[in-house]
Amino acid sequence: MTETVRELPPRGHYLAHEAGRLAGVSGQTVGQWARRGYIRSSQSETTPRVYSYQDVAEAMVVHELRERGVDYAVIKKTIKTLRRASGNGWPLTHGAFGTAHGTVVVKDSGGYVDIGRIVGHGLAVTEEDVQRIASDLQRGGWAARELPRLAHIEVDPDRLSGRPVIRGTRVPAELAAELAARPGGREELREGYDVSDPQIDDAIAWWRVVQAYEQAA
């Protein structure tokens, strides 16, 4: 029998387009995933849906699975099976899983336990991949993997409701990027917000990448 994972309260508050910026997909896709049960909107299930940091992490795993060619039907079945096994509302990031000969296995205190066969497909995401996704989310979300040298963006669900900020500050990355684009903006950021040029450059690079996700299919 698997060990039930204690579920912590949802943290952070994101509308669909904000969750999408971190998960690397459009806000429309985030909304579709929530309606179809691939992720939750654990802060609010009414319109407009409000997502938590944990929901964004789950969305990043769904994105990873899709990138690796896993069908939605397989993802849905895996989520249901993992949720039953772990007892956690965020099963992809809390119910450690892998595959063996086309069978999904979940890790508990005694090792890996067979919890059901996925017909025709195996999951391509490992426990190490999930840990990497969690690290990427802390560094700016899906954009962090596209910008491996990104060092000055931070996502903390307990700071500014989880908005991406310049690391170690309360300056939103979006604000820094938009100010930098204005005449005299860099000087204002340096003098008024105590933000350095490398931090500004990272904010600009991050903002450029995440804006493109809104156009993603």
Residues 6-45: pLDDT tens digits?
568 999 999 999 999 999 999 999 999 999 999 999 999 9
Q: In angstroms, rounded to a whole number, what is the distance separating the alpha carbons of residues 67 and 89?
A: 23
pTM of the model: 0.88
Q: Which CATH class is domain 139-213?
A: mainly alpha
Q: Is 103 exposed, middle or buried (0-12, 13-18, 19+ CB in 10 A)?
A: middle
pLDDT of residue 95: 67
pLDDT of residue 2: 39
pLDDT of residue 213: 94
Contact 144, 136 (CB under 8 A): yes
Q: Is 107 helix (H, G, I), strand (E, B) or coil?
A: strand
Give residue-wise pLDDT tens across range 134-170: 999 999 999 999 999 999 999 999 999 999 999 999 9
Domain boundaries for CATH 1.10.1660 within the chain: 16-131
Domain boundaries for CATH 1.10.10.10 within the chain: 139-213
Average pLDDT for residues 94-119, to the nearest whole number?
61
Contact 171, 195 (CB under 8 A): yes
Q: In angstroms, rounded to a whole number, what is the distance separating the alpha carbons of residues 182 and 130?
A: 38
Among the ranges given (43-57, 94-108, 130-144, 182-196), the one the predictor scored with the smallest mean pLDDT: 94-108
pLDDT band at 128 (very low <50, low <70, confident <90, very high): confident
Average pLDDT for residues 49-64, to the nearest whole number?
96
Q: Can you read off the two tokens belonging to residue 143? A: 């954009």
pLDDT band at 100 (very low <50, low <70, confident <90, very high): low
What average pLDDT does the structure give for the chain?
87
Who has greater pLDDT, 93 or 106? 93
In this structure, the number of other CB atoms found within 10 A of the CB of residue 116 comes to 16
Helix extents (H) in the chain: 16-23, 27-35, 53-67, 72-86, 91-94, 127-138, 143-146, 173-180, 185-192, 197-213
State the DSSP code for 168: T
User: At residue 90, does pLDDT exceed 80?
Assistant: yes
Query: For domain 16-131, which architecture applies?
Result: Orthogonal Bundle (1.10)
Who has greater pLDDT, 35 or 79? 35
Q: In angstroms, rounded to a whole number, what is the distance separating the alpha carbons of residues 2 and 209?
A: 40
